[in-house]
């Protein structure tokens, strides 16, 4: 049987490097979460307010960070409830927490789009469709220029055509049953 002992090196260098990286991550996490969430949000708000006093058009970067923090905290909280329900034998997909979790998940792409806006394709106007809509909206109305309008106000020597008179609406005749009922009263 062949031995592979010669292919394995001393892992102590890799382990010490990993420990240093974990220490820096641990310090960053402690720094980020050593204060209550409402203090972190107030700090973000004040930073944006300060930036806006210097430049009215300054982007609200810290508000975006605050929104990310709120959405992330909500997601973690709801996910913890999800896992708790699952551990107790409850189907979390039928529980209201499922709906809330989906709602919070829908905010992630919105935040990503806000942080990295991409140029949206420009909308194209369909000229033929616009012409059809305008024609349909205006109907068959014809617009005349001023010369025709003045001429139409002058009295004409030709006799006006007589319009057919409209007949008054006819009364509906009563049915045979209605006539019998009226006669028997």
pLDDT along the chain (185 residues), means of 10: 70 84 81 80 88 84 88 90 91 94 95 82 81 80 57 53 57 60 57
* pLDDT at residue 75, rounded to an integer: 92
> According to the model, what pLDDT value does residue 146 have?
58
In terms of phi and psi (left: phi > 0; alpha: psi -120 to 50; beta: otherwise), the region of 92 is alpha
pLDDT value of residue 173: 59
C-alpha closest to that of 115 among 54, 60, 55: 60
**pTM attached to this predicted model:** 0.47
What is the C-alpha separation between 62 and 159, in angstroms, rounded?
Answer: 82
User: What does the alpha-carbon distance between residue 159 and residue 165 come to, in Å, rounded to a whole number?
Assistant: 17
């Amino acid at each position: 049987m062949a031995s592979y002992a010669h292919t394995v090196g001393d892992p102590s260098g890799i382990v010490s490097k990993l420990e240093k990286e974990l220490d820096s991550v641990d310090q960053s996490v402690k720094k980020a979460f050593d204060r209550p969430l409402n203090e972190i949000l107030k700090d973000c708000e004040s930073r944006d307010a300060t930036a806006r006093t210097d430049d009215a058009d300054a982007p609200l970067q810290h508000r975006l960070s605050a929104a990310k923090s709120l959405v992330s905290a909500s997601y973690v909280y709801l996910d913890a409830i999800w896992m708790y329900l699952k551990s107790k034998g409850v189907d979390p997909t039928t529980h209201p927490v499922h709906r809330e979790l989906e709602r919070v998940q829908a905010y992630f792409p919105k935040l990503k789009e806000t942080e990295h806006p991409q140029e949206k394709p420009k909308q194209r106007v369909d000229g033929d469709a616009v012409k059809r809509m305008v024609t349909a909206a205006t109907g068959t109305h014809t617009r005349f220029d001023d010369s025709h309008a003045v001429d139409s106000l002058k009295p004409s020597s030709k006799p006006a055509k007589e319009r057919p008179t409209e007949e008054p609406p006819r009364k509906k005749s009563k049915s045979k049953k209605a006539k019998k009922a009226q006669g028997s009263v």
